[in-house]
């Protein structure tokens, strides 16, 4: 017997009412009144929740129990039905499902983290190779002037007369030499500033 059953029975007895009188007044059977007052948990919860709550509400209203107390009793009945139902209890299958979902989530997070780290590593390697590449300039052929003819280039031997001749020719032909632009330039390292006005 639950506390609300004892409360209803004591209220009825304090008003000196019999079960038959109440059953006739609220149009319920005496068995139903007796069940509401004294039934065990299993017997009480055999009928549907809404039917039992409706019967108890009518019984409590006839006994002039305050509305707050009626709501409290009906909430206790809801709790009893919840505990009885299978929805409130987890089965082994539920635990397996939750464990599977957790494992899948961990695998996804691990794979995403690995993929992001690989992308960061390849980006770092690419940026390191870009920063280490030097600018390659096209060598200037000082032996060719604008007209495409060969100039006399001083030889590497230590001949004084030839070095004097070549130095004088070099001074006269200095204006005809052109520098070539770089074959490949690392444009990402170049900074072009606007002139200050």
pLDDT in tens, 116-169: 998 888 877 766 665 555 566 666 666 655 554 444 544 444 444 455 555 555
Instruction: Report d(CA 76, CA 72) in Å as an integer.
Output: 6
pLDDT, tens digit, for every residue of 61-119? Answer: 988 989 999 889 888 888 888 877 766 566 777 788 899 999 999 999 999 999 999 88
Contact 47, 77 (CB under 8 A): no
Residue 175, strand partner residues:
none
Token digits for 95? 């635990």
Q: What is the pTM of this model?
A: 0.43
Instruction: Report d(CA 180, CA 177) in Å as an integer.
Output: 10
Domains of the chain: 3-87 (1.10.260), 136-185 (no CATH)
**pLDDT score of 115:** 93
């Amino acid at each position: 017997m639950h506390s609300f059953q004892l409360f209803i029975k004591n209220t009825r007895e304090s008003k000196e009412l019999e079960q038959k009188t109440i059953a006739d007044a609220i149009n319920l059977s005496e068995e139903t009144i007796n069940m509401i007052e004294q039934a065990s948990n299993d017997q009480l919860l055999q009928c549907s929740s809404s039917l039992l709550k409706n019967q108890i509400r009518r019984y409590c209203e006839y006994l002039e129990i305050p509305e707050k107390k009626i709501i409290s009793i009906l909430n206790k009945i809801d709790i009893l039905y919840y505990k009885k139902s299978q929805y409130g209890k987890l089965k082994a299958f539920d635990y397996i499902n939750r464990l599977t979902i957790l494992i899948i989530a961990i695998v996804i997070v691990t794979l995403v983290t690995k993929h992001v780290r690989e992308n960061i590593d390849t980006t770092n390697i690419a940026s390191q190779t870009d920063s280490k590449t030097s600018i390659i300039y096209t060598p200037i052929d000082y032996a060719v002037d604008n007209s495409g003819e060969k100039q006399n280039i001083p030889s590497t031997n230590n001949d004084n007369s030839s070095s004097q001749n070549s130095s004088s020719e070099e001074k006269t032909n200095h204006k005809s030499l052109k520098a070539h632009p770089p074959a490949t330039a690392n444009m990402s390292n170049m900074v072009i500033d606007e002139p200050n006005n």
